[in-house]
Structure 1
Amino acid sequence: MQPLPPPESPSGHGAPGGPPAPGAVEPGQRRGAGEERGRAEARPVVDLHRLLSTLDEQLLSVVTAPRGLDVAVRDVVILDPDDDPEPRPGDLALVVGARGRAAARLVRIAGRAGAAAVAVKPPGGGRPPGGAGRGGWEEGERAALRRAAEEAGVALLAVPPAARWERLEELARSVLLDALLADSDLEPARDGLTGDLVGPGTAGHPEPDDLFALAQTVAGLTGGLVSIEDTSSHVLAYSRSAGETDAVDELRRLSILGRQGPERYLAMLRAWGVYRRLREGEEVVRVEAHRELGIRARLAVGVHAGGRQLGTIWVQEGTRPLSPTSDRVLLGAARVVALHLVRRRSGLALSARWNEDLLAGVLEGRLPAAEVLARIGVAPGGPGCVVAFTLPGAPQPARDPDRAAEPMLGRTEIEWERAETLRVIALHAAAYRRRALVTVLGVRLYVLLPDLPRHGGQAAAVGWTREVVAEARRHGPVVRAAVGAVIVEPDGIRASRAEADRVLDALAADGGAGGPAPGGGAGPEVAVLDDVRTRVLMRELLGLLAERPGLRDPGTAALLRRDAERSGVLVESLAAYLDHHGDVRPAAEALHVHPNTLRYRVRRAAETAGLDLDDPDQRLLVHLQLRLARSGLADGPA
């Protein structure tokens, strides 16, 4: 179904009008909770904290929450005083037909039924004149409803007077739907839309990924305020406005509330051909600011799949200029969002983890590489490689106040950091190569980059990887990356991954992301095998020594045990002496001791281990054994 012409826009940025999203309330029609009885009982679960944090105070604010914000939200229902309301446990009940104090009866009914929360608008059409409380509420009205909610044990949420109920319902359902998609294990769809839908998805990982999380990531990478809309201009998801409230212009505010933007501005967008350009392809379109209309500058990109437009991503400029890399970020975001929108259109038929499972299956040897590459449309014989990234393994300090204040929504900090790192890398991978695949195995993230240049393919991959690592560092914890060998045959994908793992193992042995390299200084953040070949080979040699205790000298093992038991200094002294090729003075300086002290310790160590340090073979063997002890590869003293 091709998009309709834009002039008849009901809301948002003026894109085509169309039927309401599934589950929306049509004008003049209200649905009672009893009509939901036929739905399947397997419903998604999102805690109220996450729902509120995702939708932001632009649509919902907490008046009271007697059971806290950890209560489970399972569904969204409409309560109308003219119906016989039958809310269920876990419902978010939207009180459409009554405002203010008049909604108290429905609040009590919802509380007795175990509803998670009740959303109510203030009385009248807006802020009453004089003596009004927050959001148009008279304090008496607010107190009466608060009392009813607390007596019923249900959270009471305030809805802005200008918000459209159908828009609030759509967005709340969107959060629930994304939670369900993140847990779905259904088979891939074959609906004609999925032909272009290969590339980095971001689901199937420790934290549920959804359009709201993607919008927030894009906002962080661009420095703007993001909204994701379908072709009917329904806002599907948007970024929070924390710290940027004053920068939200009228068009964004009205779009989120479900209202139409200024018609004069929408007419200009049509006259400038903005909608036509968004329909025609992946071009990132810039729309200049119009201060006289209260409209700030914007970037926009169409979301496409199978030759059809599925939606649009808009980025409004905030209090500072957008990032210079915003165009590239938006291109990647459009390709990732396309996966989410097709899953919705396909009735959950496209697995949230399909693309991730394809690459994981190849890397683990469960799927034939040639068949997978053919499935995603990669031409045979084209150069490609695997890039491996470390995922955050320890908490990192927040980089900016907005991020520091962001709620964790029940996740550990490490899980949050990993999910954010995954989204950043997936967006950049999609922008760089449409058919790139991304997956997570253990604590590493892998990207398959196909269609590299035939000459200089690895250099191109390294350049891209450096940009991604730098971007990740600006927005989160430091990560490291290793670029595997460039291969042209599908069966070489696992070998490319193995090489990347070898390099990353060596980098991790240097102290982890940002840790020191041997000899001091920081190790590289991005490397190929040629950069660290000596470290890779030494680590693998020590690994063989760890696996075969019979190759180790018993005297050196006794020295290691003795030093460990007595917290001695003989081992570190002997190691420094050998590291400096027997030159006492620099070795002593490294340990901050007198050269004579070091000579004494080395002599004691040699006597304890029964070593002849004039014998080059013994020196080599003991040096390797001491390196093994420092590497952590051996169980117990080496």
Structure 2
Amino acid sequence: MTTEPSRDVPVRGSTLRDILAFADSGTVRLLLAPAGQDVAVRGVVFGDEEGTHSAEACAVLAVGPPVSSAEAVAPVREAAARGAGAVVLRETEGMPPAPEVLAAAEESGLALLTRAAWADWTDTAALLRSALSYSGTERAEEPPEEPDGTAGGLSALASAIAEYTGGAITIEDTRFRVLAHSATRPEADGVRRSTILGGRVPEWRVAELRRSGILHALWTSRDVIHRPAHGDSPERLIIAVRSGPEVLGSIWVAADGRSLSPQAPDALRRAAEVAAPHLVRHRLRESAAVRRHDHALRGLLHGRGDQRTHAWSLGLSPDAPCAVLVVERADGARPATDRTLDVLALQAASYRSTVLVLRERDRLLILLPVGDARDRDVVRMARELDALAVSLPGGVPVRVGAGSVVASALGAAASCEEAVLVARVLRERESRGRAEGEPRCATAAEAGPSLDVLRVLDAVRPLWEAGSGPVHDLVRTDLAAGGELVRSLAAYLDVSGDVARAAQRLVLHPNTLRYRLRRARERFGVDIDDPDTRLLLTLAVRLTAGTFSAES
């Protein structure tokens, strides 16, 4: 993955000090700089292909051992041998740097930096390259940045859009926070005034837009959306700002006391293209905060680390009741599920400003602080996400499992564990052919005793896998031969020993099923009429359910 130093990053004015001043979000941290902080840094390269490319005066990202390991001495010395000006190693949370690594950097005169444990190499590289580009060219060529870190060009863009469209402009991110706006006229409606004064769209307004379908259209459309004037609310034009398929934010045009220009839609389309790199940069500057946020949320939901610290860093009151929902792709879902999950994440985040969403590989984990409605909030969100998934263009079904409301954010891990189990209940009902006509979402209460069954199965699985005897021999031998007998037993046990119903489910003649059941007794010595044997068989076929389907 080694890359040449970026050709568009100038040497002029780019120093280690510049990088540290730009990267002030905690993503990278300086451990030592034997040659001082004014050494030139002209590019960023990855160091996992030894000596393939020049690294002269570059910052080398060493993706191997962490700074806490003595094995990191080797990449430090390799970077120094290639003429690097600095080397970046990853931190291990709670672990100090290895003395040998510090000594190697000191001896070679190489600046040693670390990448935060919650960050990743892709964002670290992008941050450092942005720092070099900013220090080399942007100060001379672009307007100065505003105090909040948003490029001054975004405010200038808002003013230009206002001039071309004849309306009042707000440029917002995907959480409806205002990044820039044009001048507000005295005739501005109350929503615009409260949005600008509060720095974000009011929650009641976001809820209204969600109910009306405007947000659904915004996340899925690539063209200008027109909202006619209604009551005190003036005519509005809206367009999503995108980078490829990813939604970065939106631009809103309001006709404050005057008519919009006939060319306003065309101007807005061009403005969305111009705004995209600005919003990409804004997102890059926020990436460190997002990584820290996700690190804390992941720790809170999975019960890792200090739960009170995680809650505090996420802005959650430890005493606030909450619940966790899990949204996962359905089995066999098309790749479009990734896009569906992205839209569902945006929809969940718009439900309430305090909602926190964690995107994992094939699922979303949603932390929902609840108010007086408590359980009703959870049910409402679960059903809303389920309905939205299949209504999207090219949408695919998902499963939504909701954990119980817990009294405190410190108990979120328990609700998350339960939500995952509810999703497993839905998955098993599908695999056993019992989901037809049933919803694809459920709460812990709706999952019923199936939750406790899964907990029991998880607890006994190690005992089953380590055991032996006739039932074990039957299951292992038959699964190796295709699982015909185990499928038959699963169907038979699932209908409480009703041969006719089990045969119908298996699309067999009842006598064929009776013959298979006799084989279990005659070949393996398994007496299905014995209560203990029947219980063990029930556990066995449930524990091996992932290997076969009762419908196949």
TM-score (norm 1): 0.46
* 2:289 alignment partner AA: S
Q: What's the CA shift for 1:35? A: 10
Match 1:279 to one of 174, 186, 196:
196
Structure 1 position 381 matched with structure 2 position 283:
no
Match 2:518 to one of 583, 590, 603:
603
Q: How does 1:141-160 map to 2 (within 5 A)?
A: none
Q: What's the CA shift for 1:460? A: 1.0
Q: What's the CA shift for 1:263? A: 5.0
Match 1:445 to one of 364, 369, 374:
364
Match 2:418 to one of 475, 489, 499:
499
Q: What's the CA shift for 1:605? A: 2.0
Match 1:232 to one of 144, 156, 165:
156
Structure 1 position 298 matched with structure 2 position 231:
no
Q: What's the CA shift for 1:571? A: 3.2
* 1:232 alignment partner AA: A
Q: What's the CA shift for 1:474? A: 2.2
Structure 1 position 355 matched with structure 2 position 289:
no
Structure 1 position 261 matched with structure 2 position 185:
no
Question: Quick check: 1:577–1:602 contact (8 Å CA) kept in 2?
Answer: no
> For 1:312 and 1:567, how far apart are their aligned partners in 2?
54
Q: Which has the higher relative contact order, 1 or 2, with Cα contacts under 8 A spaced 6 or more apart?
A: 1
Structure 1 position 535 matched with structure 2 position 450:
yes
Q: What's the CA shift for 1:553? A: 5.9
Q: 1:448/1:342 Cα in 2 relative to 1: closer, same or farther (>3 Å)?
A: farther
> For 1:469 and 1:583, how far apart are their aligned partners in 2?
35
> For 2:15 and 2:411, how far apart are their aligned partners in 1?
46
Question: Quick check: 1:357–1:439 contact (8 Å CA) kept in 2?
Answer: no
> For 1:364 and 1:312, how far apart are their aligned partners in 2?
33
Q: What is the SS of the residue equivalent to 1:582?
A: coil
Structure 1 position 468 matched with structure 2 position 394:
no
Q: What is the SS of the residue equivalent to 1:389?
A: strand
TM-score (norm 2): 0.52
Structure 1 position 545 matched with structure 2 position 460:
yes
Match 1:313 to one of 251, 255, 271:
251
Q: What's the CA shift for 1:542? A: 2.7
> For 2:361 and 2:518, how far apart are their aligned partners in 1?
46
Q: What is the SS of the residue equivalent to 2:425?
A: helix
Q: What's the CA shift for 1:368? A: 2.8
> For 2:456 and 2:492, how far apart are their aligned partners in 1?
21
> For 2:528 and 2:327, how far apart are their aligned partners in 1?
42
Q: What's the CA shift for 1:483? A: 1.6
Question: Quick check: 2:319–2:408 contact (8 Å CA) kept in 1?
Answer: yes
Q: What is the SS of the residue equivalent to 2:156?
A: coil
Structure 1 position 559 matched with structure 2 position 474:
yes
Q: 1:426/1:344 Cα in 2 relative to 1: closer, same or farther (>3 Å)?
A: same
Question: Quick check: 2:236–2:252 contact (8 Å CA) kept in 1?
Answer: no
Aligned to 2:491: 576
> For 1:180 and 1:569, how far apart are their aligned partners in 2?
50
Aligned to 1:593: 508
Q: What's the CA shift for 1:384? A: 1.2
> For 2:355 and 2:387, how far apart are their aligned partners in 1?
20
* 2:389 alignment partner AA: A
> For 2:348 and 2:321, how far apart are their aligned partners in 1?
16
Percent of aligned positions that are identical: 29
Q: What is the SS of the residue equivalent to 2:398?
A: coil
Q: What is the SS of the residue equivalent to 2:470?
A: helix
Deviation readout 1:28-79 (Å, 9 max, x if unpaired): xxxxx9995526599xxxxxxxxxxxxxxxxxxxxxxxxxxxxxxx9xxxxx
Deviation readout 1:172-227 (Å, 9 max, x if unpaired): xxxxxxx96895499xxxx9969xxxxxxxxxxxxxxxx9xxxxxxxxxxxxxxxx
Question: Quick check: 2:375–2:405 contact (8 Å CA) kept in 1?
Answer: yes
Q: What's the CA shift for 1:536? A: 2.4
Aligned to 2:109: none
> For 1:544 and 1:185, how far apart are their aligned partners in 2?
48
Q: 1:421/1:185 Cα in 2 relative to 1: closer, same or farther (>3 Å)?
A: farther
Q: What's the CA shift for 1:348? A: 5.9
Q: What's the CA shift for 1:546? A: 2.6
> For 1:361 and 1:260, how far apart are their aligned partners in 2?
47
> For 1:261 and 1:376, how far apart are their aligned partners in 2?
40
> For 1:534 and 1:489, how far apart are their aligned partners in 2?
25
Q: What's the CA shift for 1:607? A: 1.1
Deviation readout 1:480-518 (Å, 9 max, x if unpaired): 1222221223321211212112222332334xxxx4555
Deviation readout 1:447-486 (Å, 9 max, x if unpaired): 2222x124x4122122112212322332233221222221
Structure 1 position 431 matched with structure 2 position 355:
no
Structure 2 gap ranges (5+): 1-6, 17-43, 45-121, 130-145, 170-181, 215-225, 241-248, 255-274
Aligned to 1:405: none
Number of matched residues? 353
Q: 1:478/1:627 Cα in 2 relative to 1: closer, same or farther (>3 Å)?
A: same
> For 1:489 and 1:568, how far apart are their aligned partners in 2?
46
Aligned to 2:441: 526
* 1:465 alignment partner AA: A
Q: What's the CA shift for 1:359? A: 0.6
> For 2:362 and 2:166, how far apart are their aligned partners in 1?
50
Q: How does 1:141-220 map to 2 (within 5 A)?
A: 183-184=126-127
Question: Quick check: 1:181–1:348 contact (8 Å CA) kept in 2?
Answer: no
* 1:314 alignment partner AA: W
Structure 1 position 38 matched with structure 2 position 25:
no
Q: Please provide the CA RMSD for this pair.
A: 4.9
> For 2:301 and 2:286, how far apart are their aligned partners in 1?
26
Aligned to 2:406: 487
> For 1:491 and 1:446, how far apart are their aligned partners in 2?
16
Q: What's the CA shift for 1:366? A: 4.2
> For 2:483 and 2:368, how far apart are their aligned partners in 1?
50
Structure 1 position 371 matched with structure 2 position 300:
no
Q: What's the CA shift for 1:555? A: 1.5
Q: What's the CA shift for 1:606? A: 1.5
Q: What is the SS of the residue equivalent to 2:490?
A: helix
* 2:12 alignment partner AA: G
Match 1:620 to one of 535, 539, 542:
535
Question: Quick check: 1:390–1:481 contact (8 Å CA) kept in 2?
Answer: yes
Structure 1 gap ranges (5+): 1-32, 43-73, 75-178, 195-210, 212-228, 236-253, 302-310, 317-336, 397-413, 634-638
Q: 1:535/1:437 Cα in 2 relative to 1: closer, same or farther (>3 Å)?
A: same
> For 1:578 and 1:527, how far apart are their aligned partners in 2?
25
Question: Quick check: 2:493–2:538 contact (8 Å CA) kept in 1?
Answer: yes
* 1:519 alignment partner AA: R
